[in-house]
Structure 1
Amino acid sequence: MIEYQRERVRERERERVAMAMEENNKSRVLVIGATGRLGQELIRASLAASHPTFALVRETTFSDHGKSLLLRSFESQGVTLLKGSLEDLSSLLEAVRQVDVVICAIPSKLALEQKLLIRAIKETNCIKRFIPSEFGADPSKVQVLNIDNGFYEKKLEIRRCIEKEGIPYTYICCNFFMRYLLPSLIQPGLEAPPRDEVKIFGSGDIKAVFVKESDVATFTICTIDDPRTLNRTLYLRPPGNVCSMNELVKIWEMKIGKELKKVYVSEEQLLRSIHGTPFPMNMDFVFIYSSFVKGDHTYFNIDSSCFDGTHLYSHVKHTSVSDFLDTLV
Structure 2
Amino acid sequence: MSKCKKLLIFGATGLVGRHIVQQIIKGKDAFDRIAIFTSPRTVSSKSGDIADLKNSGIEILVGNITDEDDVKKAYQGIDTVISAVGRNMIQHQTELIRLADETPNIHRFFPSEYGTDIEHGPESAGEKPHQNKLKVRSFIRSCRNLEYTFLVTGPYADGDPVLYLSPNHGATVTGSFDVRTKKAVLLGSGDLKIAFTTMTDVGKLLLAALTHPDASRNKALKVKSFTTTDTAILEAFEKQTGGEKWDVSYTSVEDLKRLEKEAWQTGNPLATVMTLRRIWATGGTLYDKWDNEVIGTPAVQNLAEAVTAAIDVQLHGEQELKRKLV
TM-score (norm 1): 0.80
From 270, 291, 296, the counterpart of 2:284: 296
Compared CA separation, residues 196 and 100, structure 1 to 2 (3 A): closer
| 2:118 and 2:124 in contact (8 A); partners too | no
2:147 aligned partner = 168
Q: Residue 290 of structure 1: CA displacement?
A: 0.9
Q: Residue 203 of structure 1: CA displacement?
A: 3.7
Q: Secondary structure at the match of 1:47?
A: helix
2:187 aligned partner = 201
Q: Deviations over 1:260-284 (max 9, x none)?
A: 4543322221112112234312333
1:236 aligned partner = 223
Q: Secondary structure at the match of 1:181?
A: coil
Alignment partners' CA distance in 2, 1:282 and 1:207: 22
Q: Counterparts of 1:58-73 in structure 2 under 5 Å? A: 58-64=39-45, 67-73=46-52
Structure 1 runs of 4+ with >6 Å offset = none
1:79 aligned partner = 58
From 285, 288, 291, the counterpart of 1:308: 291
Alignment partners' CA distance in 2, 1:185 and 1:151: 18
From 108, 117, 120, the counterpart of 1:138: 117
TM-score (norm 2): 0.81
From 270, 273, 296, the counterpart of 1:281: 270
Q: 2:45 aligned with 1:57, yes or no?
A: no
Q: Secondary structure at the match of 2:105?
A: coil
Q: Deviations over 1:218-266 (max 9, x none)?
A: 210221242111011112223xx21112222233344442334543322
1:100 aligned partner = 79
From 203, 210, 222, the counterpart of 1:217: 203
2:323 aligned partner = none
Compared CA separation, residues 107 and 134, structure 1 to 2 (3 A): same
Compared CA separation, residues 187 and 242, structure 1 to 2 (3 A): farther
Alignment partners' CA distance in 2, 1:225 and 1:237: 18
Q: Residue 155 of structure 1: CA displacement?
A: 0.5
Compared CA separation, residues 186 and 237, structure 1 to 2 (3 A): farther
Q: Residue 216 of structure 1: CA displacement?
A: 0.9
Q: Deviations over 1:157-207 (max 9, x none)?
A: 100000001420111011112221213389944672476653322243221
Alignment partners' CA distance in 1, 2:294 and 2:211: 17
2:304 aligned partner = 322
Range 278-287 or range 113-122, more displaced: 278-287
Q: Residue 26 of structure 1: CA displacement?
A: 6.6
Range 211-220 or range 131-140, more displaced: 211-220
Alignment partners' CA distance in 2, 1:145 and 1:269: 23
2:156 aligned partner = 177
Q: Secondary structure at the match of 2:228?
A: strand
Q: 2:11 aligned with 1:33, yes or no?
A: yes
Q: Residue 95 of structure 1: CA displacement?
A: 1.4
Range 203-212 or range 220-229, more displaced: 203-212
Range 182-191 or range 125-134, more displaced: 182-191
Q: Deviations over 1:75-109 (max 9, x none)?
A: 12221111223211111112122211100000133
1:257 aligned partner = 243
Letter in 2 for 1:296: G
Alignment partners' CA distance in 2, 1:173 and 1:291: 13
| 1:34 and 1:105 in contact (8 A); partners too | yes
Letter in 1 for 2:137: R
Q: Secondary structure at the match of 1:172?
A: strand
Compared CA separation, residues 260 and 75, structure 1 to 2 (3 A): closer
Alignment partners' CA distance in 2, 1:245 and 1:168: 37
Compared CA separation, residues 109 and 202, structure 1 to 2 (3 A): farther
| 1:43 and 1:53 in contact (8 A); partners too | no
2:92 aligned partner = 113
Compared CA separation, residues 254 and 75, structure 1 to 2 (3 A): closer
1:7 aligned partner = none
Q: Deviations over 1:11-54 (max 9, x none)?
A: xxxxxxxxxxxxxx870110101111322222222222222210
The alignment of Structure 1 onto Structure 2 pairs a total of residues equal to 292
Gaps spanning 5+ residues in structure 1: where?
Answer: 1-24
Q: 2:132 aligned with 1:154, yes or no?
A: yes
Larger radius of gyration between Structure 1 and Structure 2: 1
